[in-house]
Structure 1
Amino acid sequence: MQHTPRPLRLLVLTHSFWPEHSPPQRRWSSLTRYLVPSGWDVSFLAPAPRFRGAVEQGGGLTIWGRERGPLGETIHRVPYLSTGHGRVCKLADQLFTAAASTVRGLFTGPSDVILVTAPSLPLLATGWLLARLRGVPFVVEMRDAWPNLAEDANLVRSGGKSVINGVVEFVQNHADLVVTVTEGFARTLRERGVRSVVTIRNGVVLGNTPRLLPPPQGRERLEVLYLGNHGESQNLERLVEAAALVGDRMRLTMVGQGSRKASLQELAARLDAPVRFLPPEYGSAVFERYAEADSVVVSLRDDWKSFDATIPSKTYEVLSVGRHITAIVRGEAARVFADAGEGDVVSGRAADVARLWEGLIEDPARLRPRSSGRAWVAEHAEYSDLATRYDAHLRDLVAAKGAGRGLSASAPAEAPRPAPAAGRRGGAAGRDAAMGDHRAA
């Protein structure tokens, strides 16, 4: 009788996961739906959901408990400390959950690979420690350009910076594999001497990402949408200022939450800007919001050098849905839009953004997107292909480090088939599990 290899066991440490809606949740739910049928037993170590809506969707979740996720994944829960948006609150919460994850991680059962997805920097140390205790390959996934981003953002004073840089670089240098989501940051790490680096970008599940009908013609005003995090990284003040310059010939809709939302609302009121603020939306509501828009904004601040090698992960979804894109980005993100042949890349000056929007009002034909964006995503950022690449790299690690223990890392006999489409299960959490990211990673 032929022996059937057991599934390989992957433990992913993350600061947020289902039923919350967050960058790591969307990325890893999308990857998991392909990794599970390809022969992986995927489990997650994550804090309990922080927000009321997520708790209701998740059902009877218990801190320190274990539950089954919607794609067959196992989720091990730890407590969290704070839901605040401020830097101090976030750092304290990350330190607390990292410490809790270290304890909980000792009791999650055996693993063949341990992977930690950052930017939760304290969690990097937890993942490294657990992998070393178990003697299994350790993978670091850097969704942001740390520690470069910490320096740009002045997250801590100079003495603390050296400590953070030292810890992050130590973990990166001692990981068996470092995964980045951009080529630019992968190049930076290689120049720094990190020995094993691959790029597996963020993406979308195109089968669950519709191409929308064109927006209505002959509107009285231009409808511009920003959907995502309202934080320091996006520098959204310039959007409000640009909207104020254009005036009542347009309306800017800002959907989401973040540390700067209150100040943005105050700025809009002070400038009498045509801006509408809405709470975060998920699932099918996101596509409904895209359908209402003439142009969708993708924005990163242009005064942090680390963002030269950063691509907002919602870039790929916006390229797929068929809307004009106001791209306030530079570096690698700007090159993605140029390669895809979609959108207008503009500087971060409010006057330049306003000039672009006024040009769209005067010449509405510019709002018609091409089909090249979706075709580019199909070639470069479809999660089925990204998961296949991830699967191959993880199996190589197991084969290299675990062959002596009799583990089988051979590829499955046939190409992996995805789990049932998350968008068909009903409920916002199920739909969102198969969607791309709506915020910067």
Structure 2
Amino acid sequence: MRLLYLHQHYSGPEGTTATRSHALATALAARGHEVTLACGRYDGAVTGLDGVFRQGRREGRVRGFRVVEHDIRCGNAMGFAARSAAFLRFAGRATHLALAEPFDLVIASSTPLTVVLPALAARRLRGTPFLFEIRDPWPELPRAMGGVPAPALAAMAGMANAACRQAAAVVALSEGMAQTALVRGAARDRVHVVPNGCDLDLFGPHIPAWRPAEAAPWEMLAVYAGAHGRANGLDQLLDAAALLLARGEARIRLLLVGEGSEKQRLQEAAVQRGLHNVSFLPPLGKRKLATLLAGAQAGLHCLAPVGAFAEWTAPNKLMDYLAAGLPVISNLPGHGARLLSGAEGAGACGIPVPPGDTAALAEALGWMATNPSLRLAMGRAAREQAVRRWDRRLLAHDFVGIVESLAEPAAEEALLAA
């Protein structure tokens, strides 16, 4: 099949951001499909292309598939208006590509939700079917977070409804996300769940360990690696660090790795509060991050206390921690809490704490510092769960199977449109 994979925020493993689309495109190419992946310039992403941009784009081959990178910068630190403009510019460029070449199927991976516009246009004007991949449910999450203008939410709702109803298949990263697709009119037999997976080669006990100079040899190093935005609620980590200091706890260091609109404020707050047990690092490429996680003793997962996060998120960082064999402390309720506690049939591999409960977060950190043998057992359970349940290669196989199941209907629709 000739496949157009649209993911504005694509990155390969040298970047600092998620690599799901890289893994799935690689798997599709390995099966013999002709894959074109179109993306923009996302902050922290590394596409693998290094040529100059000509007329706003550059292209080349990466791991057996074609990458078309558009010179459209986008990042979480940008304001709403700037990001919205970048989303619409990419949608326009991707629409031109989708209509200019004879693709058999378009894969539209959201976020941003505007990536469905080229898919809808190709379906209407060329009869090309599309697969809608939901990484984050929009407008559900932006509405829950607040701060997004009502007209923008209404436009998102229209796009999401059209995508769910017209897609040949919908792939969601969690059961909760799949439910949003059903509510928006997707046919039940067209909705599939393919969760985020673990890169067992990139992360794991076989990776050489590295610790930054800020981390003393005797400290339990707890790492948060991810975006520093409003949705992440990282003030909770600073509050937990303050509680630990107030109790005289000197065995624990919190390390926040990443970038985002809140980072500078968080750094200034840590200094003003005298939190010498908190350190910050800039975003790290996945390979460097793997060495840091190998040298850490715990992974931290933190989100703002928003109820919608319970079943509507599928954080990549959680999968990285599990693959690295780290016990995890997380304030994500719902699926994330069940995963860590062992309630879903696997061994307990972390400690879930209630959203917004910084005292419980501090208690969990103290417990892990006090119980190293039990902490190590949780880490072993994390790696075991990663191998048994979340191997990205197995999940990529499932995704490829869904794409290939659309081959015959795609050919029939193309004939009807001709």
Q: Answer whether TM exceeds 0.5 for this pair.
A: yes
Q: Which residue of 1 aligns with 2:179?
A: 187
**Which residue among 279, 288, 300 is the counterpart of 1:285?**
288
Q: Which residue of 1 aligns with 2:251?
A: 249
Alignment of 1:37-436 (within 5 A): 37-48=30-41, 54=46, 58-63=49-54, 64-80=56-72, 83=75, 84-107=77-100, 109-195=101-187, 196-211=190-205, 220-247=218-245, 248-273=250-275, 274-337=277-340, 338=342, 339=344, 340=346, 341-347=348-354, 348-370=356-378, 371-403=380-412
Q: Secondary structure at the match of 1:169?
A: helix
| TM-score, scaled to structure 2 | 0.86
TM-superposed deviation, 1:302: 2.6
Q: Secondary structure at the match of 1:10?
A: strand
Distance 1:174 1:263, change over 3 A: same
Q: Secondary structure at the match of 1:366?
A: helix
Aligned-partner residue type, residue 107 of structure 2: L
| TM-score, scaled to structure 1 | 0.82
Q: Secondary structure at the match of 1:164?
A: helix
Q: Secondary structure at the match of 1:105?
A: helix
Task: Flag structure 2 segments of 5+ consecutive residues without an equivalent.
Answer: none
Percent of residue pairs identical: 25
> Which sits farther off after the overlay, 84-93 or 286-295?
84-93
Q: Secondary structure at the match of 1:77?
A: strand
Alignment: residue pair count: 395
Would you say the 8 A contact 1:226–1:298 is kept in 2? yes
> Which sits farther off after the overlay, 94-103 or 231-240?
94-103
> What is the rounded CA distance, in whole Å, between the counterparts of 1:68 and 1:382 in structure 2?
28
> What is the rounded CA distance, in whole Å, between the counterparts of 1:119 and 1:22 in structure 2?
17
> Which sits farther off after the overlay, 271-280 or 291-300?
291-300
Render the CA deviation track for 1:291-329: whole Å, top value 9, x for unaligned. Answer: 221211022223242443322122222112222211221
Render the CA deviation track for 1:71-113: whole Å, top value 9, x for unaligned. Answer: 1211223231555532232222112222222234333x21111
Distance 1:125 1:50, change over 3 A: same
Would you say the 8 A contact 2:174–2:314 is kept in 1? yes
What's the C-alpha RMSD, in Å, of the aligned pairs? Answer: 2.7
> What is the rounded CA distance, in whole Å, between the counterparts of 1:48 and 1:221 in structure 2?
38
> What is the rounded CA distance, in whole Å, between the counterparts of 1:222 and 1:50 in structure 2?
30
TM-superposed deviation, 1:49: 6.0
Q: Secondary structure at the match of 1:276?
A: strand
Task: Flag structure 1 segments of 5+ consecutive residues without an equivalent.
Answer: 1-7, 407-441
Would you say the 8 A contact 1:182–1:311 is kept in 2? yes
